[in-house]
Chains A and B, each alone.
Chain A
Amino acid sequence: MAQKVLDALKAAHGAAVDRTASAHTDEIAWIKRDQLLAVATWLKNDAAMLFDAPVFCTAIDWIDYRPLDRPPSEFWSEDKPRFTVAYQLRSSKHRHRIRIEIELPEADPKLPSLAGLWPAFNWQERETFDMYGIRFDGHPDLRRIYLYEEFVGYPLRKDYPKEKRQPLVRRDDLPMNPIKVAPMEHK
C-alpha cells in the first residue's frame, strides 16, 4: 500500500535516495546523509506525505554482522559503513508509514538532527548518542540520557566488552587485612 510513498519520494528526491526496500509491510528508504534534512522536511510538510508522528529513532551496529551459520567475512568488511541510523515515521492523516535509514562510516558517525522537525526525537537521539556514540549535528542538547557522565565508551556498540562495568562507588569499610581462607580439603 505504502509503496506509493516510496514512489513519491523517489520522484521528488531521486538523487537523495540510495535504494529502497519493502519487507514485512515496512517501507524502507536509504537516504544520503547530506540530504537528510531536505528529505525529512519534505516528508513532514508535503500535503501528500504529512508524516506527523515520529515513532522511534535508533541505530544498528553492523560490525562482524553475519547470519548464525555463515562466516562474518562474507557479510562484513572494514570498508562497509558500520552504523545505520533508523527513523520510523507515521502519518496519522494518511495512515501510511516509512522508515528512513542513513548509513554512517565508523570514522565519522555524524548526521543532521531531526529534533528540530519532530521534537519527540530529542530524547531518542540523546539515547542513540548515549548507547552508540552517534553525533547529531544541530541537536539542542546532546548529552547522555541514561548513563552517568563519568561513563566512558558506548555500551551498545558491539565491541564494548560484555561485562565491563564502570562503578561510581565501591565499599571502603572492609578490613585492611582480610582473612585468608585456606582451600578446603576434600576427603
Chain B
Amino acid sequence: MGVEITTTRLEDAAKWAKQSTLEKATNWGRKFSLFSYPFVTACCGMEFMSVAGPKYDLARFGAEFPRFSPRQSDLLMVVGTVTEKQGPAVKRVFDQMAEPKWVIAFGVCASTGGFYQNYHTMPGVDQVIPVDVYIPGCPPRPEQVLDALILLMDRIQSGRGHSQLRDKREQLIASASSDEG
C-alpha cells in the first residue's frame, strides 16, 4: 500500500497517455455520440438554441440529441449564470449523469461568474463540479461553441476528460498496489 497518485506529473504522462486498442475504439465511439443535457439558466440559452438549431447545427458533430434527463446524458452543458442557491441542484444533476461524463461551461457566467461579483452568483460552476472545457464570451458565438465541442472531442479521444482521468487514476492505483502485493 502507500501508493498515492494524485497529480498528473510529467513523468507519469507517458503512462497516462498509453491507451489500449479497445480504449481507443471506445473513446472514438464516445466522442461521436455525445448526449448533451443543457442546464440552461440565463441569456446564453439563446445562443445555445442557435447552435443547436439548423443554421449552426450541433448535430453535425454527433452531439445532436439534447436529453432532458441527466440520467440519459453524458455531456452537461452549463449555459448561463449559476447562483449559489442553484449550487446543490447543479451538483445533483451532475451526480445523476451516466459515467463517463463531461462538462462544458458555456459563457463567462458559467466559467467565472462573469461581471457578477456579489452575494448571489457563483464565481464559475467549477466551484461545485469539474469542468472540461470553458467557452468565453457573453454570450459566445456559435463558432466558439463548435470549436469547444471539437476540443472536447479531442480530449475524449485521448482520454483526458475529468472522469476518464479519474478512472485511469483508479486503475493505476489498483494495478500498482496489486504489483506490490
Contacts and interface: CB of A to CB of B under 8 A. Distances in A.
Partners in one complex: yes
Interface stretch (A8-16, A40-48, A174-182): A174-182
Contacts of B7: 175, 177-179
Interface string B81-123: 0001101100100000000000000000000000001111011
Given A173-B130, A175-B6, A176-B6, A165 B88 contact: no
A171 B88 CA distance: 11
Interface centre among B8, B119, B122, B127 (most CB of A within 10 A): B119
A168 B117 contact: no
B128 interface: yes
B49 interface: no
Interface centre among B8, B117, B118, B130 (most CB of A within 10 A): B118
Interface residues of A, number: 21
A163 B6 contact: no
Interface in B110-163: 117-120, 122-123, 126-130
A163 B119 CA distance: 6
Contact of B122 (A155, A164, A167): A167
A108 to B, nearest CB: 25
> Is the contact region of chain A dominated by helix, strand, or loop, or is it mixed?
loop
Contacts of B123: 165
A21 interface: no
Contact of B87 (A155, A167, A178, A179): A167
A168 B122 CA distance: 10
A168 B92 CA distance: 13
Given A170-B127, A171-B127, A173-B130, A165 B84 contact: yes
Interface size range on B against A: 20 to 34
Nearest to B166: A173
Contacts of A184: none
Interface string B3-27: 0101111000000000000000000
Given A170-B127, A173-B130, 7 more contacts: A160-B119, A162-B117, A163-B117, A167-B87, A168-B87, A169-B91, A177-B6
Interface of B: 4, 6-9, 84-85, 87-88, 91, 117-120, 122-123, 126-130, 166
20 contacts: A146-B120, A148-B85, A155-B118, A160-B119, A163-B119, A165-B84, A165-B119, A165-B122, A165-B123, A166-B84, A167-B84, A167-B122, A167-B127, A168-B87, A169-B87, A169-B91, A170-B128, A177-B4, A177-B7, A179-B8
Nearest first, the 8 closest Cβ-Cβ pairs linking A and B are A175-B6, A155-B119, A169-B87, A179-B7, A168-B87, A177-B6, A148-B85, A169-B88
